[in-house]
Amino acid sequence: MGVNERTKNVGCHCLARSRLPLMRSPQLQAHIYILAAVATVLSAVCVRAQNVQPAGATNHIVVIRQVHFNPPQMTVKAGETVEWKNEDIFSHTVTADDGSFDSGLIDPDNSWQRTFQQAGTVGYHCRPHPNMRAALVVQGTNGTGAAANAASRGGTLKWSPPTKAQELHPILVNFTAALLPLAFLSDVLGRIFRRQSFHHTAWWMVLYAAVITPFTAAAGWWWRLTEGSTLPAKLITVHEWLGTTAVLLFVVLAIWRWSIHKRDTSPNWAYLTFALIVVLALVYQGSLGGRMVFGK
Amino acid sequence: MKLRKSYLSVFTSAVLLVAGAVTAYAQAPTDPQIAGIVQTANHIDINQAKLALKKTSNPQVKEFANQMISDHTSLEKSVNDLAKKLGVTPEDSATSKQLKQQAADETKKLASLRGKAFDKEYASHEVAFHQTVIDAAKTTLIPNANNAELKSALEGAAPLLQGHLEHAQQLEQSLGAK
Ligand SMILES: [Cu+2]
């Protein structure tokens, strides 16, 4: 309740100011710049997120039967999805010789699929039956590769509401990724220009980040629990625990920032250093996430 | 004289040939015996994997043992289904009895070992066991299978057994390297 009230107060305060004829007030300018920066970051991340493959569109099928991969060699285009169907009576795995992917055990009458972004030849085998060997040749696409592939897969730009974890997580990540670095930047600018409005903005952004990030993490866990086996095991383990730690750090950061906001002072260097560490952790976390979706 | 001698040699050779054929016939397993040998081999490998699961704490050995249980249970079921379909009732034979005796000795040996010594013995025995079964399939079971479906089923099992052999070899190597 208390938080809500504060939201209202400060909101009114800002609105009242912006309605004043002082259109060139530094506070207003700061807000416009921050909005512009948020928009830029969001659109940049959105373009990345759009390249994420929707799971489900299979371009090629490898049948596993009588302890063999069929066909043993297959050529696909970058961005295409291959599905391995286990029609055998034994469980098998699809394991890259270079460790870049591993299906885990695929039981009889089950299948596993993966989208290949990285051009090159990759040999794979079955872990339980090392004599089962096969290879996949991924051909690079020239120029407008991603778009051409999206078109050939029947991918369109038509909007549909996000329903899967794979869609929700990248969208929510945008907010987390944009809010925290900008909050940090806003506090730094506030100290440089000695403007309280920068600090107010920073407080709100930290609060929003702390509220949104648990949802981001939840969507991430949902993704991991539903499709975890299709993601690289090592990366996902680091990513999921760093992500969960980030949620806790954001809450700590928000409480700390709130205590500073309550005293109406500028944050001290201890807070800024802590915030910077969280920002750097976030950058690393983002790079892990990107690597998982887009390959090396 | 000369003629009589050559008659004698022809006669002796003929007797030897017939005797050889009879012995070979006696050793050649019938289809029910082939099915019996396969089921015995499945049974032995499943039981030893169960023992391994009880005794080992090595995750790789556990993974291998679980795979043996799963794969050989599936194989056992498919052989049973095929035998039923073909009206073949698996039978014991000298070979299956020999396999059982060797397995009993090995189980005794494994039961007396613990820790890494157990893991190593289990892995190396799995290598030897699968090698034995592969050799038996190639030289005796497949050539002597009468029924075409049984023959092709045996041929179909070869890559699975080869896979187990190579997996067991990897396991043996990784246990030895540590
Ligand atoms: Cu396999």
pLDDT of residue B25: 46
Comparing A58 with A187, which gets the higher pLDDT?
A187
Instruction: In whole angstroms, give the CA distance from residue A228 to residue A221.
Output: 9
Q: Quick: pLDDT tens for A229-271.
A: 566 777 788 888 888 888 888 888 899 989 888 888 888 888 8
Instruction: In whole angstroms, give the CA distance from residue B163 to residue B170.
Output: 11
Chain B touched by A208 (CB under 8 Å): no
The pLDDT confidence band at residue B31, using thresholds 50, 70 and 90, is very high
Helix (H, G, I), strand (E, B) or coil at B82: helix
**Which residues is A81 bridged to in the sheet?**
A115
Instruction: In whole angstroms, give the CA distance from residue B114 to residue B121.
Output: 10
CA distances (Å), B42 to each of A17, A220, B35, B155, in order?
A: 83, 43, 11, 16
Cα–ligand 1 centroid distance for A166 (angstroms)? 29
- CA of A132 to nearest chain B CA: how many angstroms apart? 7
pLDDT of residue A153: 47
Comparing A138 with A264, which gets the higher pLDDT?
A138
With respect to residue B17, please indicate whether it lies within any of the assigned structural domains.
no
pLDDT of residue A176: 84
Q: Please give the tally of structural domains in chain B.
A: 1
Least confident of A25-29, A279-283, B92-96: A25-29
Instruction: In whole angstroms, give the CA distance from residue B104 to residue A283.
Output: 60
Residue A103 has pLDDT above 60, yes or no: yes
With respect to residue B14, please indicate whether it lies within any of the assigned structural domains.
no
Q: Quick: pLDDT tens for B74-102.
A: 999 999 999 999 999 999 999 999 999 99
- Mean pLDDT, rounded, for A202-224: 87
**Which residues is A95 bridged to in the sheet?**
A102, A125
Q: Which residues neighbour B150 within 8 Å (Cβ) at sequence distance 6 or greater?
A: B31, B34, B35, B82, B86, B88
Mutate to test the interface with A, among B42, B63, B67 (most CBs of A within 10 A): B67
Please, what is the average pLDDT of chain B? 87
Of the partner residues B74, B156, B163, the one whose CB lies closest to the CB of residue A129: B163
- CA of A146 to nearest chain B CA: how many angstroms apart? 39
pLDDT of residue A223: 80
Domain CATH for B43: 1.20.1260.10
- Mean pLDDT, rounded, for A209-224: 86
Cα–ligand 1 centroid distance for A132 (angstroms)? 6
Cα–ligand 1 centroid distance for A91 (angstroms)? 6
CB within 8 Å: B163 and A89: no
Instruction: In whole angstroms, give the CA distance from residue B72 to residue A128.
Output: 13
- CA of A47 to nearest chain B CA: how many angstroms apart? 43
Instruction: In whole angstroms, give the CA distance from residue A91 to residue A111.
Output: 11
Chain B touched by A65 (CB under 8 Å): no
Residue B132 has pLDDT above 90, yes or no: yes
- Mean pLDDT, rounded, for A183-188: 90
CB within 8 Å: A130 and B170: yes
Q: Quote the longest CA-to-CA distance of chain A.
A: 79
- CA of B32 to nearest chain A CA: how many angstroms apart? 23
Neighbours of A185 (CB within 10 A): 18
The pLDDT confidence band at residue B14, using thresholds 50, 70 and 90, is low
Residue A143 has pLDDT above 90, yes or no: no
Cα–ligand 1 centroid distance for A61 (angstroms)? 17
Name chain B contacts of A129, Cβ cutoff 8 Å.
Answer: 159-160, 162-164, 166-167
Comparing A35 with B74, which gets the higher pLDDT?
B74
pLDDT of residue A20: 40
- Mean pLDDT, rounded, for B31-52: 95
Instruction: In whole angstroms, give the CA distance from residue A291 to residue A235.
Output: 8
Q: Quick: pLDDT tens for A119-128.
A: 899 999 999 9
Q: Which residues neighbour A239 within 8 Å (Cβ) at sequence distance 6 or greater?
A: A220, A285, A288, A289, A292
pLDDT of residue A6: 37
Domain that holds residue B58: 2-8+30-175
With respect to residue B65, please indicate whether it lies within any of the assigned structural domains.
yes
Top mean pLDDT of A32-36, A82-86, A137-141, A198-202 is at A82-86
Residue A164 has pLDDT above 90, yes or no: no
pLDDT of residue A33: 61
Name chain A contacts of B167, Cβ cutoff 8 Å.
Answer: 127-130
Top mean pLDDT of A35-39, A53-57, A108-112, A218-222 is at A108-112
pLDDT of residue A225: 77
- Mean pLDDT, rounded, for B136-156: 93
Residue A224 has pLDDT above 60, yes or no: yes
CB within 8 Å: B166 and A130: yes
Q: What is the b/e burial string over A139-153, where b = at least 16 CB atoms within 10 angstroms of the residue's CB?
A: eebeeeebeebbeeb
With respect to residue B42, please indicate whether it lies within any of the assigned structural domains.
yes
With respect to residue B62, please indicate whether it lies within any of the assigned structural domains.
yes
With respect to residue B16, please indicate whether it lies within any of the assigned structural domains.
no
Q: Quote the longest CA-to-CA distance of chain B.
A: 77
pLDDT of residue A229: 58
Of the partner residues B77, B156, B163, the one whose CB lies closest to the CB of residue A128: B163
With respect to residue B21, please indicate whether it lies within any of the assigned structural domains.
no
Instruction: In whole angstroms, give the CA distance from residue A255 to residue A269.
Output: 16
Please, what is the average pLDDT of chain A? 77
Least confident of A102-116, A207-221, B67-81: A207-221
Chain B touched by A132 (CB under 8 Å): yes
Nearest CA in chain B to A66: B156
Neighbours of A290 (CB within 10 A): 13
With respect to residue B19, please indicate whether it lies within any of the assigned structural domains.
no
Of the partner residues A108, A127, A129, the one whose CB lies closest to the CB of residue B160: A129
Chain B touched by A91 (CB under 8 Å): yes
Residues with CB under 5 A from ligand 1 (ion): A 92, 126, 128-129, 132
For strands A120-125 and A95-96, give the pairing. antiparallel
pLDDT of residue A45: 47
- CA of B164 to nearest chain A CA: how many angstroms apart? 6
Task: Write down the residue that tokens 């081999």 correspond to.
Answer: B41
